[in-house]
Amino acid sequence: MDIKTNPTETVTLSVAIVGSGGTGVVTTGKILLESIARFGLYGLMSRSSGPQIRGGESAVMLRIGTAPVDSLDDDFDLLLALDWLNADRFSDEIPITDNSLVLFDPEKGSLPVVFNRSADHQLHLPLEQLAKSIENGRTNMVGLGVLAGMIGLPLDVVRAAAQDALQKKGDATLQATLSCIQAGYAETPEERLIPPLPAPERIEERWNISGNEASGFGALQGGVRFVAAYPITPASEILEWLAPNLERMGGSLLQAEDELASINMIIGASFGGVPSLTATSGPGLSLMMEGLGLAVASETPVVVANVMRGGPSTGIPTKSEQSDLNLALYGFHGDAPHIVLSALSISDCAFTTEWAVKLAERLQAVAIVLTDQSQGQARAVVHPPRQPTLEGKRKLAGGADHYQRYALSDDAVSPMAIPGNANCIYTADGLEHNEQGIPSAMAKDHRQQLEKRKVKLTQFDYGDDWAEITGQGEICLVTWGSATGAAREAAARLTRAGHPAKTVAVRLLAPFSAAHFRAATANANQLLVVEQNHGGQFFEYLNAQRVLPANAESLAQPGPLPIKPNEIFNCVLQGL
Amino acid sequence: MHGSPPGPPLKAKDYKSDVKPIWCAGCGHFAVLSAITKALAHLALPREQVALVSGIGCSSRLPAYTHVYGFHGIHGRALPIASGLKVARPDLTVLVTGGDGDGFSIGGNHFMHACRRNLDLTYIVMDNEVYGMTKGQASPTTAPDWEQSRLTPHGTGLPSFNPAAIALASGAGFIARGFSGDPNGLTDLLIQGIQYPGFSFIHVMSPCVTYHPEQKSWKQTIHEQSEATTADPVIAAQRIQQNDHMETGLLFKAGSPDRSRFPAENTSLEQIARQFVTHS
């Protein structure tokens, strides 16, 4: 069996685990990922489940690497089935090849046709029998032991990770778990079916974090101390993570009756001087649009973390798609300049959300952060996320006489008075207003304020963080958000195949920096825009900005399947 | 933050701004504006510690006419803005004003949940049974046989919404009805409402002389309730359903709600980050 290498010659291994409800697929994946982190490797774990609220079949997809991994691979090296009930529903999400190794217990159902590729690469394991031989034993923990052995993780590392994960379950469960892991580990065939992943030379500090946790953490680091929350898949984990952690930082969270309320609650809190955020997904963002326009007009800083899922309408709530770009860019009525950012990896959810909070505060603006289900609900072992250097403080009003809330100034950001300031009492308004804040329908005031709200965003120097540019070459892959990982990997594969390629992953989607973009793509003789939606929303946006060469091509592929590195690779080769 | 400069006590007029109201001559809202400023002066609240939040409509223009912090937001969403503000800034006195369309139609869901959430807000609804700003359409409190709107030439045919009953059913602890034609009585209710430590709902009958000239007769029909305020929701429900919606006074007052305290800062970001660090 080959172990695939990613662009930087990182050794990676892709593992999938499937099972029906209650078999503990997700727990198994989480402990495996944590074991990988403790051993010193890196990993990415995404998950998929059926539509059932509880008890449906589920799958976890892990990619393990000797360096951080930002995307799933094209296919899987190892598939473990805890049982086969409804597992064929995952056939398109878990592509296997003739070389993939399939591990299963023949007692737990017959191998589905879709996973039956090569009899030479199937390993029958008595998972259930082993679990039953141990009091309180569970099949999934036997499976965990088998996987750990196959991958080459030390037994004590897996046992320790399981111990920490399950410590609240009580002693009997814990002992049974450890025995199961050991029993599974002992089942690893003498003859290695896959080469073990090399042990790392040096282990630096690393984090095991989900994209949604990272977004929540970035919000806290940016200074958010008020959150309004209305639950929605796949964004709820941001809010659920923030609820206790925000409280620990002296902030507070209010559960709203709907998204119309949550957006307006954060506007109210921010008016009170407290940096505020809400998190949602497409349907919720649609409902928030009028409120966001109010925040633009009243110049009240707010941040919305929007975790995208398949749309339109209820769409595919549990699965990923990058299809809310148009909504985030164009959903507002009127001319409503605002900031739209995209997080370029799971770890980058922290950086980008923190940057969004700081930009919103600094520029008294609306910032929408686009992440998606494949980032939010996935976990990764990463280096500690870096932080933006921007000082993200609000410009506050002092004690000036004749205070003008919306005064024109060089940077177009007017000092904001916070209730409690006796000298600068004013009324914030969604009505067009003059510099003082008094409602006005006069053409001059409208033009002045429109221009002010525009240039405060376009004049600002966003620095180098507008995009991440990797690699070099005349082939240029342009992308945003979660497609970045696959695009980078494709660029590296192209480079290795003798076609040097670079990736431009855009973090600052709006206001769009045409000058930066042109400079970054100037030497491209082949340019491909990669994104996970059906309409090519980013491609259309870039065309509207007039920054694409005439021969630029679009690779737009809807969710829920992630874009795979080889799909991008092949698309580029076809165009050469 | 700046404190109030020392000086003579503030008068009602000190809480007014110099912006001229857009209201029609004879509009009930003028008296409500006066009553609010009188109540604030009576309570000697520092102007910078008061915030007045509104939505859209004639009555929602009120914040600009006061000299306290104001937020004139969007249609129907005054209560969420005020709720966020109050939770983020519990030190402020937060008042919410609006009309019957803003509060009971487009903002109806927020009305119920604000009653239930019971934050320390005072919600003043100026009810004139009409959308005035959009030139006279039926609102939720309009009588079913009112045929003066082009939009509903045969009347709505719908029973009118009973705001006090909805507030009670939704869990509001303080429910009062006032009348713009009785500014002193209204001022007194506002003072009590602001002092009540939970959500106080003050339903103010405030005539629209332009689209409902017949409401001028409210002067004759509106009267003070005959019974004393009850703390019993069953009795209050019976009275609210039985009376003719023309009775003013404090209709219901429950005990003070439990207040969960704003949690104190007790950790650092470094400590929070530790949950993500894997051991090796």
CATH topology of domain A12-186: Pyruvate-ferredoxin Oxidoreductase; domain 3 (3.40.920)
Question: Residue A167 contacts by C-beta under 8 Å, 6 or more apart in sequence?
Answer: A174
Q: Quick check: B69 and A427 CB within 8 A?
A: yes
Residues in chain A closer than 8 A to B84 (CB atoms): 226, 228, 254, 264-270, 272, 276
Residue A19: which H helix or E strand, with range? strand A12-19
CA closest to B22 among chain A residues: A439
CA distance B174 to chain A (A): 21
Residues in chain B closer than 8 A to A294 (CB atoms): 73-74, 77
Segment A366-394 mean pLDDT: 97
Residue with the larger pLDDT of the pair A200 and B212: B212
Q: Quick check: A428 and B70 CB within 8 A?
A: yes
CA distance B68 to chain A (A): 6
Where does the pLDDT of residue A277 fall: very low under 50, low under 70, confident under 90, or very high at 90 and above?
very high
Residue A215 has pLDDT above 70, yes or no: yes
Which residue among B64, B82, B266 places its CB closest to the CB of A427?
B64
Residue A247 has pLDDT above 60, yes or no: yes
Residues in chain A closer than 8 A to B85 (CB atoms): 268-269, 271-272, 419
Residues in chain B closer than 8 A to A207 (CB atoms): 273, 276-278
Which residue among A257, A422, A428 places its CB closest to the CB of B71?
A428
Residue A512 is given by DSSP the state -
Establish if A267 touches chain B: CB-CB under 8 angstroms: yes
Write phi, then psi, for B25 (nearest 5 degrees): -60, 135
Cβ–Cβ contacts within 10 Å for residue A124, how many?
Answer: 12
CA distance A203 to chain B (A): 8
Alpha-carbon gap, residue A377 to A114, rounded angstroms: 26
Strand order in the sheet with B69-72: A427-429, B69-72, B50-54, B93-99, B121-127, B200-205, B174-179, B247-253, B223-224
Q: Quick check: A264 and B81 CB within 8 A?
A: yes
CA closest to B65 among chain A residues: A427
Give me the pLDDT at residue B6, please.
Answer: 63
Which residue among A248, A257, A381 places its CB closest to the CB of B272?
A248
Where does the pLDDT of residue B2 fall: very low under 50, low under 70, confident under 90, or very high at 90 and above?
very low
Residue contacts between A and B (CB atoms, under 8 Å):
197
Alpha-carbon gap, residue A277 to A266, rounded angstroms: 6
User: What percent of chain A stands above pLDDT 70?
Assistant: 98
CA distance A210 to chain B (A): 9
Which residue among B49, B73, B85 places its CB closest to the CB of A430?
B73
Give me the pLDDT at residue A192, please.
Answer: 75
For residues A363, A366, A371 and A376, what is the CA-based torsion angle, rounded to 10 degrees?
Answer: 100
Q: Quick check: A205 and B277 CB within 8 A?
A: yes
CA closest to A37 among chain B residues: B278
The overall average pLDDT reported for chain B is: 94
SS3 content of chain A, % helix, strand, coil (to 5): 40, 20, 40
Question: Residue A350 contacts by C-beta under 8 Å, 6 or more apart in sequence?
Answer: A209, A214, A215, A217, A218, A221, A385
Q: What is the pLDDT of residues A31-89, one digit of tens each?
A: 999 999 999 999 999 998 876 767 788 999 999 999 999 999 999 999 999 999 989 89
Which residue among B69, B84, B112 places its CB closest to the CB of A419?
B69
Alpha-carbon gap, residue A351 to A347, rounded angstroms: 7
Residue A508 has pLDDT above 50, yes or no: yes
CATH 3.40.50.920 fits A466-575, yes or no: yes
Alpha-carbon gap, residue A215 to B10, rounded angstroms: 47
Q: Quick check: A290 and B74 CB within 8 A?
A: yes
Residues in chain A closer than 8 A to B82 (CB atoms): 268
Q: What is the pLDDT of residues A468-501, one digit of tens each?
A: 999 999 999 999 999 999 999 999 999 999 999 9
Which residue among B4, B5, B262 places its CB closest to the CB of A252?
B262
B98-111 b/e (C-beta count within 10 Å ≥ 16 → b)? bbbbbbbbbbbebb
Give me the pLDDT at residue B244, please.
Answer: 80
Q: Quick check: A421 and B265 CB within 8 A?
A: no
Q: Quick check: B267 and A248 CB within 8 A?
A: yes
CATH topology of domain A208-382: Rossmann fold (3.40.50)
Segment B202-218 mean pLDDT: 97
Alpha-carbon gap, residue B125 to A495, rounded angstroms: 67
Where in chain A is CATH 3.40.50.920? 466-575
- Chain A window 383-442: which residues touch B at a Cβ cutoff of 8 Å? 384, 399, 417-423, 425-431, 438-439
Where does the pLDDT of residue A526 fall: very low under 50, low under 70, confident under 90, or very high at 90 and above?
very high
Global confidence as pTM: 0.96
Question: Looking only at Cα atoms, what is the longest distance across chain B?
Answer: 82
Q: Quick check: B92 and A419 CB within 8 A?
A: yes
Alpha-carbon gap, residue A468 to A49, rounded angstroms: 32
Establish if A299 touches chain B: CB-CB under 8 angstroms: no
Residue A203 is given by DSSP the state -
Which residue among A206, A268, A420 places its CB closest to the CB of B81?
A268
Alpha-carbon gap, residue A329 to A351, rounded angstroms: 21
Give me the pLDDT at residue B259, please.
Answer: 65
Where does the pLDDT of residue A399 fall: very low under 50, low under 70, confident under 90, or very high at 90 and above?
confident
Q: Quick check: B88 and A160 CB within 8 A?
A: no
Residue B8 is given by DSSP the state S
Q: Quick check: A427 and B113 CB within 8 A?
A: no
Where does the pLDDT of residue A3 fall: very low under 50, low under 70, confident under 90, or very high at 90 and above?
very low
Is the four-CA dihedral A246, A250, A255, A256 of positive or negative sign? Answer: negative
Establish if A290 touches chain B: CB-CB under 8 angstroms: yes
Is the four-CA dihedral B203, B207, B210, B212 of positive or negative sign? Answer: positive
Alpha-carbon gap, residue A146 to A502, rounded angstroms: 39
SS3 content of chain B, % helix, strand, coil (to 5): 35, 20, 45
Where in chain A is CATH 3.40.920.10? 12-186
> Is residue B249 within 8 Å of B226, Cβ to Cβ?
no
Domains of chain B by start residue, with CATH:
19-276 (3.40.50.970)
Give me the pLDDT at residue B264, please.
Answer: 64
Residue A194 has pLDDT above 90, yes or no: no
The overall average pLDDT reported for chain A is: 94
Residue A6 has pLDDT above 50, yes or no: no
Segment A562-568 mean pLDDT: 96
- Chain A window 127-186: which residues touch B at a Cβ cutoff of 8 Å? 160, 164
Where in chain A is CATH 3.40.50.970? 208-382
Can you read off the two tokens belonging to residue B176?
A: 């009062």
End-to-end CA distance of chain B: give it in Å, rounded: 47
Using CA atoms, how far residue B58 sits from A49, B16, B126, in Å, is 51, 17, 9
Measured at the CA of A74, the angle between CA A507 and CA A20, to 5 degrees, comes to 100
CA distance B195 to chain A (A): 19
CA closest to A42 among chain B residues: B278
Residue B4 has pLDDT above 70, yes or no: no
Torsional class of A232: left (φ above 0), alpha (ψ -120 to 50), beta (otherwise): beta
CA closest to B62 among chain A residues: A427
CA closest to A293 among chain B residues: B74
CA closest to A207 among chain B residues: B277
Where does the pLDDT of residue B65 fall: very low under 50, low under 70, confident under 90, or very high at 90 and above?
very high
Give me the pLDDT at residue A552, please.
Answer: 98
Can you read off the two tokens belonging to residue A422?
A: 């006796």
Where does the pLDDT of residue B253 fall: very low under 50, low under 70, confident under 90, or very high at 90 and above?
very high
Can you read off the two tokens belonging to residue B45?
A: 């609240």
Q: What is the pLDDT of residues A413-448, one digit of tens each?
A: 999 999 999 999 999 999 999 999 999 999 999 999
CA distance B221 to chain A (A): 36
For residue B266, which amino acid is it?
A: N
Establish if A199 touches chain B: CB-CB under 8 angstroms: no
Q: Quick check: A422 and B47 CB within 8 A?
A: yes
Which residue among B72, B84, B266 places its CB closest to the CB of A269?
B84
Residues in chain B closer than 8 A to A30 (CB atoms): none
CA closest to B15 among chain A residues: A425
Residue A76: which H helix or E strand, with range? strand A76-81
Where does the pLDDT of residue B260 fall: very low under 50, low under 70, confident under 90, or very high at 90 and above?
low
- Range in A186-195, A229-238, A358-367 the model is least confident about: A186-195
Where does the pLDDT of residue B1 fall: very low under 50, low under 70, confident under 90, or very high at 90 and above?
very low
Residue B167 has pLDDT above 80, yes or no: yes
Residue of A30, A265, A296, A438 best to disrupt the B interface, most CBs of B under 10 A:
A265
Question: Residue A522 contacts by C-beta under 8 Å, 6 or more apart in sequence?
Answer: none
